[in-house]
Structure 1
Amino acid sequence: MSLIGQYVFNGLMLGVIYAMVAVGFTLFFGVLDVIKFSHGDTLMIGAFAGLTASLGMMALDISSPWLRLAAVVIAAIVVTGLLGALIAKFLILPLHKAPPLNTLLATLMLGTVMREAVRLFFPDGSNSQPFPSLLPSGSVELGDLSLRADNVILLLSGIAIIAGVHFLITKTRLGMAIRAVAQDGETARLMGINFEAVVLLTFAIGSAMAALAGVMNGLYYNEINFNVGLLLGVIGFAAAILGGLGNIYGAIIGGFLFAGLQVLGSATLPALIPNIPSAYKDVFAFAVVIMLMAWKPTGLIAEKSSERV
């Protein structure tokens, strides 16, 4: 039972990270009907911004882990929030009336630029960078199940972040404006909503969520690299599509479902096929997602809107 509990916990931990990335894709698609393929690399930028902040605090001889953690989180949010808004302002909005493939290609190339810039200009950027362990290192005992305290904190923090964004979207004036723009941008303009400001804020929020997912990933695995956003971006996009692109609940469900498939693959494949590498869990998860998409092309939770362009 303790082994099953550990698998379940691992699935929840990965699911939170994937859901945070998937929600960003859903927010971007909701307000402008665009797929921002540099989203995963924005996550990577956030993780490296957090690492830089931690190194800066150490250079200033500030060794308190809580102060360093605060600096990591603030730096990641501020850098990626500004980055997301700038991308929306100078790349996404100018291409809003262009064919969708133009935006797709532009963001895909931007992601490559961001990834290669970190690899070339960050000190020793080609290699994995150790990410500081800033959370308590004790353990939490739940019967026979022993969980690392830092992982429990990360899981609860991720759930709180998702709940906070959900509250922002559904219960605040800004959220109402975002939903109005997502429903009908032209009507929202006529009603006095600042369309551009709402778009910029939405991209800033989605990018900040990705940054926090990158920081959580670094704290969970204790390392990051310039390619970390590549796979996480693909998984987040797959989770958003699986759940129903444009639906925030679908993105969350898709993230947890993809993580569950990975955990199921890592638990069952070695028993069925001896000596199979654990990396095949990704192959298993993507294969199942492909079958689910063929069965349910609109996603598990179809978008309510009757017409999307």
Structure 2
Amino acid sequence: MDLGLIGQYVWNGLMLGVIYAMVAVGFTLFFGVLDVIKFSHGDVLTLGVFVGLASYLGLHQAGVQSPVVLLVTVVFSAIASMAVLGAVIAKFFVLPLRSAPPFITLLITLMIGTVIRESIRLFYPSGSNPQSFPHLLPTTSYHFGQFILRLDTLILILVGVLVIYLVNLLINRTKLGLAIRAVAQDGETARIMGINFEMIVLLTFGLGSGLAALAGVMNGLYYNEVNFGTGLMLGVIGFSAAVIGGLGNIYGAILGGFLFAALQIIGVVALPFASAYKDVVAFGIVIVLIGFKPTGLIGEKISERV
């Protein structure tokens, strides 16, 4: 196989891995602080994309033409609104159910996600149909044989890697991160030590939801299309990546995201008609891996959660 084509597959896998890792980190943050799986995560991602798209259309109708202004508005509106929504979900639907059986929280968040997804389909103009996402990044391409380096993809990968690094830095090198890790390790002891438990939970859910919104915007910028079901598959993939990496471990979430992307690319390369089967191959291998390693590739240790 041509080296340029191999490089193209690796490059595409890196782009997907960045998006999957960002979604998976959100699941890990939620599980880390409250031991809950927030199944509305993927739909929050979708809503963030549509908020960003609506912001773009509003500014465009108002005559704003600057790609930089439009891009900043799309990204900021998506992240800020979903960070607030994530905190609201935690405040009114997750924290009140801390003493309830875990499946109740799963059911509530699943229903919230369904409400969000169906509301987009029903109330957004032509919400049932795929929506064109604007080209807001440079579209220059460089050809090296069969390898095509798109400048927009390079920017997205660099931004994604930087965001993942900054989140890791936040969790492991700041006082806020220390408080998050303390709550994740032992919430009651953290309260006794003077940490505002509820505030940390709200901030963590806001951070994870904002990350999801950014991942969704990056996905829209990459494919230049979004639909009301975008977050459904990304949510499943992100959760699978978090589990296979080691749910509750931020490094495991990152590893799982890139691993899932690699499995999809291997499926594309190795199998005929692979683009139709890449998800089947990836999920099938993940099922086998989980069977052999139920705690994930990076086994969670209580002292290392989040």
What residue number does 1:260 align with? 262
TM-score by length of 1: 0.96
Q: How big is each residue's C-alpha offset from its partner over 1:35-54, in whole Å with a ceiling of 9 and x where there is no partner?
A: 00000001001100110111
What residue number does 1:278 align with? 275
Letter of the aligned partner of 1:296 in structure 2?
K
Is 2:226 aligned against 1:229? no
Query: How much does 1:143 deviate?
Result: 7.8
Q: How big is each residue's C-alpha offset from its partner over 1:6-40, in whole Å with a ceiling of 9 and x where there is no partner?
A: 00001000000000000000000000000000000
Q: Aligned to 1:193, which of 192, 195, 208? A: 195
Query: How much does 1:279 deviate?
Result: 2.0
What residue number does 1:18 align with? 20
Q: How big is each residue's C-alpha offset from its partner over 1:169-214, in whole Å with a ceiling of 9 and x where there is no partner?
A: 0111110100000000000000000000000000000000000000
Distance 1:85 1:108 in 2: 16
TM-score by length of 2: 0.97
Is 2:29 aligned against 1:27? yes
What residue number does 1:169 align with? 171
Letter of the aligned partner of 1:301 in structure 2?
I
Task: Please show how residues 143-162 of structure 1 align to structure 2 within 5 Å.
Answer: 145-162=147-164
**Structure 1 301/226 Cα, relative in aligned 2: closer, same or farther at 3 Å?**
same
Distance 1:26 1:142 in 2: 38
Q: How big is each residue's C-alpha offset from its partner over 1:196-242, in whole Å with a ceiling of 9 and x where there is no partner?
A: 00000000000000000000000010000000010000000000000
Task: Please show how residues 129-140 of structure 1 align to structure 2 within 5 Å.
Answer: 129-140=131-142
Q: How big is each residue's C-alpha offset from its partner over 1:151-170, in whole Å with a ceiling of 9 and x where there is no partner?
A: 11001110011001011101
What residue number does 1:128 align with? 130
Secondary structure in 2 matching 1:35: coil
What residue number does 1:273 align with? none
What residue number does 1:206 align with? 208
What residue number does 2:184 align with? 182
Unaligned runs of 5+ in 1: 271-275
Question: How many percent of aligned residue pairs carry the same amino acid?
Answer: 66
Q: Which moved more, 1:109-118 or 1:133-142?
A: 133-142
**Structure 1 221/144 Cα, relative in aligned 2: closer, same or farther at 3 Å?**
closer
Distance 1:126 1:144 in 2: 36
**Structure 1 94/277 Cα, relative in aligned 2: closer, same or farther at 3 Å?**
same
Distance 1:25 1:163 in 2: 17
Query: How much does 1:307 deviate?
Result: 12
- What is the total number of aligned residue pairs between the two structures? 303
Unaligned runs of 5+ in 2: none
Letter of the aligned partner of 1:87 in structure 2?
I
**Structure 1 65/244 Cα, relative in aligned 2: closer, same or farther at 3 Å?**
same
Query: How much does 1:278 deviate?
Result: 1.6
Query: How much does 1:277 deviate?
Result: 5.5
* Contact 2:5/2:146 (<8 A) preserved: no
The runs of at least 4 aligned residues of structure 1 exceeding 3 Å deviation read 140-145
Distance 2:74 2:123 in 1: 20
Q: How big is each residue's C-alpha offset from its partner over 1:129-159, in whole Å with a ceiling of 9 and x where there is no partner?
A: 0000000010245687331100110011100
* Contact 2:267/2:274 (<8 A) preserved: no
Distance 2:304 2:275 in 1: 42
Distance 2:304 2:16 in 1: 33
Q: Aligned to 1:300, which of 278, 281, 297? A: 297
Distance 1:84 1:142 in 2: 43
The alignment yields a C-alpha RMSD, in angstroms, of 1.4
Query: How much does 1:268 deviate?
Result: 1.0
Secondary structure in 1 matching 2:125: coil
Task: Please show how residues 94-105 of structure 1 align to structure 2 within 5 Å.
Answer: 94-105=96-107
Letter of the aligned partner of 2:149 in structure 1?
L
Secondary structure in 1 matching 2:302: coil
Secondary structure in 2 matching 1:146: strand
**Structure 1 164/280 Cα, relative in aligned 2: closer, same or farther at 3 Å?**
same
